[in-house]
Amino acid sequence: MKLHKKILTHYQSCTSPVDKEGYLSKKKQRNGSYHRRWSVLKANLLFYQERPADRHLLGVIVLEGCDVRRADADGRFGFCLLFQGPEPKSYQFAAGDEVTLESWLRALRSASHSYLSLLLQNLHIQYQEVKQHQGSGDSSPSNLNLGPAPSPPPPSSSSGLWSSSVIIKKSPKPWHKWNTHVTPLNVPTVPSYAEWPLVGSNPQEEFRVLHELYGQEIKKARERWLTSRQPPEENIQEDLIDLT
């Protein structure tokens, strides 16, 4: 399959926003050795090259349908991009330190087009509701000076999700609420009509995207929990019953 490289090369170097860039160690697929690569994350694409100034790109990884996971197997601050499919494939990387690793994990997890599409749908709905409430004269603490609002560019994506008007149930459960240092989230007002996801043209795809979205929350919460957990107490090692 031909991937038009000039288009990609141009996109990598043009002025569109760079979502993250930096050096990463990338594991070679063939011989398992790690090589330092300047990596640039833009949209749902992870580009890599030898040095920042290089015009020649070594490669690009399209980040659709991949799982981003910590992978400490090689004893570094490692992560991998895991693609499920007919032939599961994993791309291994390592960062220089924990902070950098976490930053890349966050950036990569929110990189896919499907993720953005889902977020956009949610915000579109929220926006419409907010406008509705504003219009009906609901008192809101914020700005009441409503001039003629600019009509937003109607967003839609080419996947079946938009045209079938999928409505996602409001506000995924705040999984991280059990962290007592976080103030409770404000749950958006419940709309007056029941909201259930309508079946679009491909329920499997919709579920996968929803699962991914909520799954990321859980992953974050789990990681936070793992790092904040107290070390097990010594006396658990002892027998509960003294048989001597």
**Between residue 45 and residue 74, which ones bind other proteins under the rule CB under 8 A?**
45, 56-62, 64-66
- Which DSSP helix (H) or strand (E) runs through 208? helix 203-228
Name which position in 35, 89, 211, 222 contacts other proteins (CB under 8 A).
Answer: 89
**Between residue 125 and residue 164, which ones bind other proteins under the rule CB under 8 A?**
126-127, 130-131, 134, 140-143, 152-153, 155-160, 163
Under rule CB under 8 A, residue 209 binds other proteins: no
Distances (CA, A) of 164 to 29, 128, 130, 172: 41, 17, 21, 21
Under rule CB under 8 A, residue 120 binds other proteins: yes
Under rule CB under 8 A, residue 102 binds other proteins: no
At its nearest, how many Å lie between other proteins and the CB of residue 69? 16
Distances (CA, A) of 73 to 76, 82, 85, 94, 220: 8, 14, 22, 10, 20
Give the binding range for other proteins (CB under 8 A) out of 67-75, 90-98, 190-198, 232-240: 90-98
User: Of the candidates 59, 34, 35, which has an alpha carbon nearest to the alpha carbon of residue 46?
Assistant: 59
> Binding mask 163-202 vs other proteins (x if CB under 8 A, - otherwise)?
x-------xx-x-x--------xx-x------------xx
Number of residues that bind other proteins (CB under 8 A): 94
Distance, in Å, from the CA atom of 61 to the CA atom of 148, rounded to the nearest integer, reads 43
At its nearest, how many Å lie between other proteins and the CB of residue 97? 6
Under rule CB under 8 A, residue 100 binds other proteins: yes
CB atoms within 10 A of CB 13: 13
- In DSSP terms, 37 is beta-bridged to 24
Give the binding range for other proteins (CB under 8 A) out of 67-75, 86-94, 190-198, 231-239: 86-94
Under rule CB under 8 A, residue 90 binds other proteins: no
Residues 6+ apart with CB under 8 A from 34: 25, 26, 27, 28, 74, 76, 94
> Binding mask 7-26 vs other proteins (x if CB under 8 A, - otherwise)?
xxxxx--xxxxxxxxxxxx-
CB atoms within 10 A of CB 5: 10
